[in-house]
């Protein structure tokens, strides 16, 4: 899928793969392309997560995720550092 632009994409589910663990977040979720210092990255804004899920994301070095709405995939990320998730 193409890199999202600065216009937010709204979904209802995000699947985040951290190693062999799959975290599933459901609620209002936003994905948006951000340019910072000449580099582009995608910012995923999650709803309040289970504290254990947040700790797992904070301890991981790489993750991959997708944003969905109504069961369809809106965006599938390349592998990235989880620091770009907030």
Report pLDDT digits (tens) over 6-21. 778 888 998 888 888 8
Q: Whole-model pTM?
A: 0.72
High-pLDDT (> 90) share of the chain, %: 7
List strand residue ranges (DSSP E) for 1-71, in order: 9-18, 21-36, 39-45, 64-69
Domain membership flag for residue 44 = yes
Q: Which domain holds residue 37?
A: 9-67
Q: How many domains does the chain have?
A: 1
* Structural domain includes residue 75: no
Residue 3 lies in a domain: no
| Residue 23 domain-assigned (yes or no) | yes
């Amino acid at each position: 899928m193409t890199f999202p632009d600065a216009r937010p994409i709204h979904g209802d589910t995000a699947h985040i793969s951290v190693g062999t663990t799959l975290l599933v977040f459901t609620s209002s979720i936003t994905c948006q392309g951000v340019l910072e210092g000449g580099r582009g990255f995608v910012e995923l804004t999650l709803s309040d997560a289970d504290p254990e899920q947040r700790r797992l994301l904070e301890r991981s070095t790489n993750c991959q995720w997708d944003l969905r709405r109504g069961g369809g995939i809106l965006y599938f990320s390349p592998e990235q550092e989880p620091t770009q998730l907030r």
